[in-house]
Structure 1
Amino acid sequence: MEADGKHCKCEFSRLNYISTKLLPIVIFAVEYIAVLIAEKLSLIIQHNLPGMNGQFYISDLYFYGIIPLVFIFFLYYTKVNERFILYWETLQRTFYAVLYSEIFCVVLLYLFKTSNYVSRAYVVIFFAMAFICLCISRQLLIKTCRRLNLMKEAVVFIGAGKTTQKIIDFTRNNNCFGINVAGLFDETPKIKDITEKYHIFRDLEETKDYIQRYKIRTVIIAVPSMEKERLLNLIEDLQPIVRNLMFVPNIVGMPVFNLEVKRLYENNMVLLGIKNNLAKKTNRRIKRVFDIVFSLATMVIILPVSIIVMIGIMIESPGASPIFKHYRVGKGGKLFPCYKFRSMVPNAQEKLKAYLQKNPEAQQEWQANFKLKNDPRITKIGKFIRKTSIDELPQFINVLKGEMSWVGPRPIIKDEVHYYGKNIQDYYSVLPGITGMWQVNGRSETSYDERVKLDVWYIRNWSVWIDIVLLIKTFKIVICKKGAY
């Protein structure tokens, strides 16, 4: 319920309730059409490849029936359409759903000989087309539903604190099917943003009647600090009358991306497992292979841009080397020469020292972040290459040498080690990165404490998918020139 002066109005309506009921049917129809389009496009592309001569075909039963249904099953099995899911995690689940579906369909086509032969070209093309069509169709559906304010699940929250606010923000800031706050119950609400926007019911005893009266299907208990006995009583009261009952356990701050749940059914107990992926040699090797392949693949772009930048630097700063090395702390605490394009005047240190002595405010800014927003040492071309992060391109040499990774914690200098405190061992355990969590979350605008938290989160939650996502986000941020100076 949303507060409107002294009056309250329900955010959820009968129309929204009906549309939510229809959501599975709508999703089924959209996914079915997306798979058909992918099949058709793949056939067109495959038939136009040199030497194919349109030999490959699929029977109508498989084309219009079995193949789309197999894909829809695996999309359901991998839970692609969950409401509380990151957009990038949706892409990952879609990828695996398409992979499983393709393998299953190829086996069916081969075993039952429903085609004259299984075209390897078609399999590869269809994989790409299916992934693209499903991702695009899902985003179009979500954007349409958000614009029309449809398909939102009515949710009752127990707790009106920071946890509730974070959950609401999550559903609004990610490309997933949204929620409507149908009710907030809290005896002692403390968050001003929530109390000003929503009507808060202060009597928890009303919760059960309210849920049954408005036929609420989803309830979230967002009070991590709630006493165990009270939580159990709430669960016992509410579970029989709702379809989805969720609660936030008291593990806020722990690395949850790689969290595994082990169910000990006989003892009515769960074990929470936290994996450290980068502790495994196999994963470190995969990350290293990824770094090398990505470096070699991007050299086509990096080398021409680097040559142009070096010429510009040599023209603006005659006699100065266009590339300089600055020693940073690497894996295991060892120092290594971190390469960058020169973006400062040759006598940078002397100029910085004189500037900080004359400007106490700049001295405080430097001590806090080891950066200056208006740095007097930076050249004209230096401002451009820093704003676009082109100054960091030579670090691909560090990547090939095994001193850095494309994605990782921000490479720090010795004077910054003490800021990490006990988390410095996390930093020492991996290679620093050209980009990372700090780069896609504000870059120079983030505080130092936030940088440390972001670095530690990345190290403890690493996956190949996270690296891919961060590289894509970095490219987007660099294009927008956001947060760098």
Structure 2
Amino acid sequence: MNSIRTVIKNFYGMKLKKYSNGIFFLSTILIEYISILIAEKISLIIQHSLLFPNGEFFLLDLYFYILIPFIYIFFLQYNKANERFILYWETLQRIFWAVLYSEVFCVIVLYLFKSADYISRSYIIIFFVMSFICICIGRNLFIKLCRKLHIMQEQVIFIGAGKTTEKLIEFANNNNCLGIDVVGIFDTKPESKKLQNKYYIFNDFNELKKYIKKYDIKTVIIAIPSIDKVKLFNLIEDLQPIVQNLMFIPNVVGMPVFNLEVKKLYQSNMILLGIRNNLTKKSNRLLKRIFDIWFSLLAMILIVPVSIVVMICIMIESPGAMPIFKHYRVGKEGKLFPCYKFRSMVPNAQEKLQEYLKSNPEARAEWNTYFKLKDDPRITKIGRFIRKTSIDELPQFINVLKGEMSWVGPRPIIKDEIHYYGKYINDYYAVLPGITGMWQANGRSDTGYDERVVLDTWYVRNWNIWIDIALIIKTIKAVLFGKGAY
């Protein structure tokens, strides 16, 4: 496998890198085409084998192999579903809308050509779901393959060798992106030792321009948010004529940029930045509530059987107390509510904790920092397992149905933790706490408290429904691999 990877990488590096953008475009179209054909086939199998075994439903080859895939590929490209520098949940959002537009357009075309009688309404729904799933899976597999072989990466030169460039490179090489090939960084006074040790640093601007022209570098990113306006303008004036994509980081660090809107005032040669708070709209809060109820009812198919088994195991190992307990947490608008969990500790847990903390100063410091202990003497054997897998939090779906919690939101805190939020506590009070959230999906118990507050605040200020869906998926991955849980 290593030899195959080397051959592909060398061939790509020598022959194809010059045409990487064109190859990337054609490759994504091929992946989308294959994904759509698979979705069509699976939908027909479900339709014929499971729903209507005796039904006469079919698609003409013209529609199956050409028309429907063409419509889907058009809308996927139109919605920029394969853009490189976008987050995972934004990719899901773009794919979803592309699939929805395609589905509607396909139905209209089939109706106009009087072919709608050959398919059923159930097939349309099945194909909508399967096409979304197959396109997402196809894209993820394509990205994993490209990153493993180190191909299809866009060549990029950065201006500025500081923390901003470090973060951008980290973002591009993670977050379900294809990654970038950093061929050099220009900075006369580089700050980051990490970047200096890893990449070539240009000190001469003329040398940089010659390199860009010689090797046809198409993307340059100015990663200096605090740069002087005149210097930024001069850089843009010098570089824009010789590069295809010129980007810069504006000085909006710390602002809620996910819901940022850019309005172009052409005649005045200005841009107007608008920041939306989605959770202030009643329609968005209603959408979030509907999603919570729908997902809870769907999840009950799995939650109820697992819960019965867990309760029996808890009662067998540590009898004497109920298998489900409630612990009062701070909810929306600062109101206390009973947060349900499976009991993972011995019945006399509080007394045992105080004794342990008195005799163990290191554990006391850990408790004061995280309100958790890695080696907690109170936890039972079954308790350790359900904590590791986060099964102990399954009863919280009851809180969700009662409207006390959401599936995704800030971590529910106790009164003693309020002071950690400081001025950001109003962001916490503005929404329902969640079973999962930003910090659970990005490190879980390994995340420090300051970072938890930042992540929770970011979530509240940048919310949209696709973030919720993506965080649930990321949490499932974190649970399956046991990342950061104790």
TM-score range, shorter chain: over 0.9
Aligned to 1:109: 110
**TM-score normalized by the length of structure 1:** 0.92
The Cα offsets for residues 356-388 of structure 1, whole Å up to 9 and x where unpaired, read as 221122221111111112122222222222222
Determine if contact 2:59/2:119 at 8 Å carries over to the other structure. Answer: no
1:44-443 alignment, distance < 5 Å:
44-48=45-49, 51=52, 53=54, 55-114=56-115, 116-443=117-444
Q: 1:437 to 1:242 in 2, by over 3 A?
A: same
Give the aligned partner of residue 23 of structure 2: 22
- Tell me, in whole angstroms, the C-alpha distance in 1 between the residues paired with 2:53 and 2:386: 48
Quote the Cα distance in structure 1 between the aligned partners of 2:21 and 2:48: 41
State the one-letter code of the partner of 1:305.
Answer: V
1:286-305 CA distance string (max 9 Å, x none): 11122222222222322222
CA drift at 1:150: 2.3
TM-score scaled by structure 2? 0.92
Q: 1:208 Cα shift?
A: 2.2
Gap change, CA 1:139 and 1:387, over 3 Å in 2: closer
* CA–CA distance in structure 2, aligned partners of residues 342 and 40 of structure 1: 46
- Once the two structures are overlaid, the 10-residue window that deviates more, 118-127 or 264-273, is 118-127
Offset from partner CA, 1:160-198 (integer Å, 9 cap, x none) = 111111111122223333321122101111111111111
Percentage of identical aligned residues: 69
Distance 2:395 2:43 in 1: 40
SS at 1:266 equivalent: coil
Is the 8 Å Cα contact of residues 110 and 118 (structure 1) preserved in structure 2? Answer: no
> Which residue of structure 1 lines up, in the alignment, with residue 8 of structure 2?
none
Hey, what does 2:477 align to over in structure 1?
Answer: 476
Amino acid at match of 1:484: A
Shift of 1:205: 3.8
Instruction: Give 1:445 shift.
Output: 0.9
Aligned residues: 475
For 1:136 and 1:327, the matched residues in 2 are separated by 40
SS for the counterpart of 2:181 is: strand
1:39-71, CA deviations, whole angstroms, 9 ceiling, x for partnerless residues? 344344434455575634444444333322221
Distance 1:377 1:44 in 2: 52
**In 2, distance between residues paired with 1:243 and 1:227?**
23
Q: Is the 8 A contact 2:20 2:154 kept in 1?
A: no
For residues 305 and 324 of structure 1, the distance between their equivalents in structure 2, rounded to whole angstroms, comes to: 17
Q: Given residue 139 of structure 1, which amino acid in structure 2 is its aligned partner?
A: N
Return the offset for 1:269: 1.2
Q: Quote the Cα distance in structure 2 between the aligned partners of 1:203 and 1:43.
A: 61
- Take 2:469 and 2:224, find their aligned partners in 1: how far apart are those partners? 34
State the alpha-carbon separation in 2 of the partners of residues 459 and 25 from structure 1: 38
- Residue 128 of structure 1 deviates from its aligned partner by 2.7
C-alpha change, 1:179 and 1:13, in structure 2 (3 Å) is farther
CA distance in structure 1 between the partners assigned to 2:223 and 2:196 by the alignment: 15
Structure 2 distance, partners of 1:44, 1:16, is 41
Matched residues in 1 for 2:40 and 2:302: separation? 34
Change in Cα spacing, 1:317 to 1:102, as seen in structure 2 (3 Å) is same
8 A contact 2:183–2:200 mirrored in 1: no
Distance in 1 separating the partners of 2:112 and 2:224: 53
The CA RMSD measured in Å over matched residues stands at 2.1
CA distance in 2, matches of 1:448, 1:314: 33
Change in Cα spacing, 1:284 to 1:50, as seen in structure 2 (3 Å) is: closer
Are the equivalent residues in 1 in contact too, given 2:88–2:470 (CA < 8 A)?
no
One-letter amino acid of the structure 2 residue matched with residue 198 of structure 1 = Y
**Match for residue 8 of structure 1?**
none
Q: Is 1:58–1:115's contact at 8 Å kept on the other side of the alignment?
A: no
Task: Check whether the contact 1:343–1:391 (CA below 8 A) recurs between aligned residues.
Answer: yes
SS at match of 1:240: coil
Distance 1:58-1:150 versus aligned 2 partners, 3 A rule: same
Q: Could you tell me how far 1:321 is from its partner in structure 2?
A: 2.2
1:381-421 Cα shifts (integer Å, max 9, x gaps)? 22222222122222222222211111111111111111100
Task: Give the SS at the match of 2:337.
Answer: strand
Kept in 2: contact 1:156–1:218 (CA 8 A) = yes
Corresponding residue of 1:6: none
Range 39-48 or range 320-329, more displaced:
39-48
SS at 2:173 equivalent: helix
Q: 1:191 to 1:98 in 2, by over 3 A?
A: same
Q: Which amino acid aligns with 2:346?
A: V
Q: CA deviation at 1:480?
A: 1.9
CA distance in 2, matches of 1:96, 1:246: 26
Distance 1:272 1:264 in 2: 11
Q: Aligned partners of 1:464 and 1:448: how far apart in 2?
A: 25
Change (3 A) 1:353 1:90: same
Whichever residue aligns with residue 193 of structure 1, its letter is K
Distance 1:156-1:311 versus aligned 2 partners, 3 A rule: same
Deviations 1:191-210 (A, max 9, x none): 11111111211223433222
Q: CA deviation at 1:308?
A: 2.3
Report the CA distance between 1:425 and its aligned residue: 0.2
> For structure 1, which runs of at least 5 residues remain unmatched after alignment?
1-10
Cα distance between partner residues in 1 of 2:194 and 2:376: 37
Please say which of residues 53-62 and 200-209 is displaced more in the overlay.
53-62
Contact 1:405-1:434 at 8 Å conserved across structures: yes
